A and B are shown apart, each in its own frame.
Chain A
Amino acid sequence: MGVAPGIVLGTAARVDRSPVPIEHVHLPQSLLESEVSRLYEAVERAEASIDQLEASLESGGGTGEHLGILGAHRVMLRDPMLLGESERHIRQQAMNAEWAVSETLAHIGEIFAHIEDPFFRERGSDVEHVGDLLLRMLSGEDGYDNAIEDISKGAVVVADGLSPAEALAVARRSVSAFVLEHGTVTSHTAIVARSMNIPAVVAVPGVTEHIGEGDRIIVDGDEGEIIISPSREEELVYARRERRQRAFKRALRQNRSKPATTTDGHEVIIRGNLDFASDVSRIGDAGGQGVGLFRTEFLFIDRTDLPDEEEQLDIYTRVLHAASPHAVTIRTLDLGGDKQLRTERDGIVMSPGLRAIRYCLRDRVLFDAQLRALLRASVHGELRLLIPFVTSMSEVRRVKRAISEVREKLVAEGHAVADDIPLGFMVEVPGAALIAESLAAEADFLSVGTNDLIQYTLAIARDDEGVTGLYQPLHPAVMRLLEMTTRAAHAAEVPVSICGEMAADPRYALVLLALGFNELSMTASAIPLVKEVIRRSSKEESLALLEHIRGMTHATEIADHVDSLMIDRFSDIVRPSMRSAPRSAR
């Protein structure tokens, strides 16, 4: 089970902490008082070793949850339950301190084991760790460093279990990963691993038997897998994934605030797609320049009532504020397919083709409430309006009329509305791409939804598993429709963006750059790598690639060419795709 993400290829270092041998001795009455003192001295030394570890972590800039765990363990060392019962065992049953403590621990452990709630039951491991430290102090050990001083930097630590304090002490030595035979995702050791960004896989039965000191080992904290003594091929695959992960982290760190500008000075705006208003900060964190697609349908589905104008106004305003000074493209309600209202609407009979803008023009009560909220929100930031699933110019005319009607009404009511709200149309059916010139003439921007465009062009439903291999983003038919759209936009001098899955896959970045897309909008997590690819490329080489694949007629031939070129050029970012698996289609 992976409890802390990350992939590491390294050399195993065993941390074997043999259990402390417990002697059982009945003491003469005269020694009992000094035995109790010995117990309290051990508590003091245990506290000192926690203090020492804590100080070394704080000086190393450590903060956060893991230090809290050490504090809790220090308090638990003085716990009346632990010390009171141990002291009683010494005084009343004349036990030596080790025996008394281990009896007490066994008793407490049994009570914890019977707790039904797994979250609280798990906390019994904290009691064990505290008890183990106390027993080690009683047996004369002097701190956490003994067992781990031989561990070299970058080693993969392999152990039966580690207490959070031990994990911290080991982590301080810059180890690269943890592999534990025991442990759970909520254990404090897992929390330590996560908070210190060290990949960890726990609960691997038999792992301490199978891994020896110095063995080569791959630890995959994402998938929760380990590979002992990997083959050459396995090492290559994992090394590539590890590089990709490093590239991702580097890209995130270095490029967050930089534009996606090619080496020959051509800039592409990178924005984020948004499903839920609360996620808007993730886009900025990943380096996105505002919201390229806010899918408002998630405000409407999965609920039995519908959001009124005020509720929508509040949400749109919040997103505009959060994205400021960047623009926010809000797409009007895109119902249909798997996205349906839970409520019946008066006088409207749903049918498979009645979706998105077609539906909205039929249900003007719902549509007008959304337009009112959007127009009222427009004074709070850089709003751009996007109309989905447009297929004809008469829809364009009707949408424009609806917007101007709503605007007039709002102004008459005394509401403030921004003077100039850019209006864009989505190109997501082949028919729209074929009339892109007419659309562009009436639009302030165009935005291509590749998921539907590919699906309707190639007659392939994305969720149809029988034909996933036929879902081909680089099919010549799709490429031609994309090019028609960008050409029409450029001729009309309006920006054109792409907001489907295709924009999120770094392997297509050069092709989309060459096709002339001004903006790419994608899920936040994809932003750093796509940005990185564009920053390392030139427009010139992208045009050469486009020119080359224009001469090809087979979709698979094009895909293979783009794949091999991109893997060759960006081996740390672009992963080979399997021919049989659906590409980025999800």
Chain B
Amino acid sequence: MATLTKSLIIRNPRGLHVRAATVLANALKPFDAEVTITLGEQSANAKSVMHLLLLTAGQGAEVEVSAVGPQAPEAMDAVSDVITDGFGESG
């Protein structure tokens, strides 16, 4: 199965903190896909808030997103939307 990848920049001021990670994990829940977010040498399961927090991705961090599975394209769209929208936070 093909793996989709994409590079995105975390734009919201507080980075990938609890609320942002929760928004991301929730957005991915419905999709049958494994989504991994990589920052530097660390990778995290994007459906795990705890794992995402461990990336300590602050504002301006450039992350690699990869998705694999039957609904990988839909999951990838969802990740892109959430991250480019700054997790729905203003500023």
1/0 per position for A101-131, CB-CB distance to B under 8 A?
Answer: 0000000100110011101100100110000
Chain B residues with CB under 8 Å of A115's CB are 54, 56
Residue contact B56 to A120, C-beta cutoff 8 Å: yes
A81 to B47, CA, bound (A): 9
1/0 per position for A361-393, CB-CB distance to B under 8 A?
Answer: 000000000000000000000000000000000
> Does B26 reach chain A (CB closer than 8 Å)?
yes
Which residue of B48, B51, B53 is within 8 Å of A120 (Cβ)? B53
Residue contact B26 to A75, C-beta cutoff 8 Å: yes
> Does A71 reach chain B (CB closer than 8 Å)?
yes
Chain B: interface residue total (CB-CB under 8 A): 18
Residue contact B58 to A76, C-beta cutoff 8 Å: no
Which residue of B17, B21, B49 is within 8 Å of A119 (Cβ)? B17
Chain B residues with CB under 8 Å of A116's CB are 56
> Does A69 reach chain B (CB closer than 8 Å)?
yes
Tell me the smallest distance from the CB of B40 to a CB of chain A, in Å.
13
Residue contact A69 to B18, C-beta cutoff 8 Å: yes
A71 to B51, CA, bound (A): 17
Chain B residues with CB under 8 Å of A72's CB are 18-19, 21-22, 49
Interface residues of B in 21-70 (CB under 8 A from A): 21-22, 25-26, 45, 47-51, 53-54, 56, 58
Tell me the smallest distance from the CB of B58 to a CB of chain A, in Å.
7
A108 to B45, CA, bound (A): 14
> Does A60 reach chain B (CB closer than 8 Å)?
no
Chain A residues with CB under 8 Å of B56's CB are 115-117, 120
Chain A: interface residue total (CB-CB under 8 A): 22
A80 to B25, CA, bound (A): 10
1/0 per position for A50-87, CB-CB distance to B under 8 A?
Answer: 00000000000000000011011001100111100000
Residue contact B17 to A71, C-beta cutoff 8 Å: no
Chain A residues with CB under 8 Å of B18's CB are 69, 72, 123, 126, 188
Residue contact A76 to B50, C-beta cutoff 8 Å: yes
Interface residues of A in 387-421 (CB under 8 A from B): none
Chain A residues with CB under 8 Å of B49's CB are 72, 75-76, 79
> Residue of B at shortest CB range from A116?
B56
Tell me the smallest distance from the CB of B32 to a CB of chain A, in Å.
14
Given contacts A115-B56, A117-B58, A123-B53, contact A81 B17 (CB under 8 A): no
> Residue of B at shortest CB range from A76?
B49
A22 to B9, CA, bound (A): 43
> Residue of A at shortest CB range from B49?
A76
A115 to B52, CA, bound (A): 13
Residue contact B17 to A82, C-beta cutoff 8 Å: no
Tell me the smallest distance from the CB of B26 to a CB of chain A, in Å.
6
A120 to B21, CA, bound (A): 12
Which residue of B26, B48, B58 is within 8 Å of A81 (Cβ)? B48
> Residue of B at shortest CB range from A121?
B56
Tell me the smallest distance from the CB of A309 to a CB of chain B, in Å.
30
Tell me the smallest distance from the CB of B88 to a CB of chain A, in Å.
11
Chain B interface residues (CB < 8 Å from chain A): 14, 17-19, 21-22, 25-26, 45, 47-51, 53-54, 56, 58
Please list 20 pairs of residues, one from A and one from B, whose beta carbons are closer than 8 Å in the complex, sorted by A's number. A69-B18, A72-B21, A72-B49, A75-B22, A75-B26, A75-B49, A76-B22, A76-B49, A79-B48, A79-B50, A80-B45, A80-B48, A81-B48, A81-B51, A82-B50, A112-B53, A112-B54, A120-B17, A120-B56, A123-B18
Not counting A68-B22, A75-B25, A75-B49, a sample of 4 additional A-B residue pairs whose C-beta atoms are within 8 angstroms of each other reads: A82-B50, A117-B56, A123-B18, A123-B53
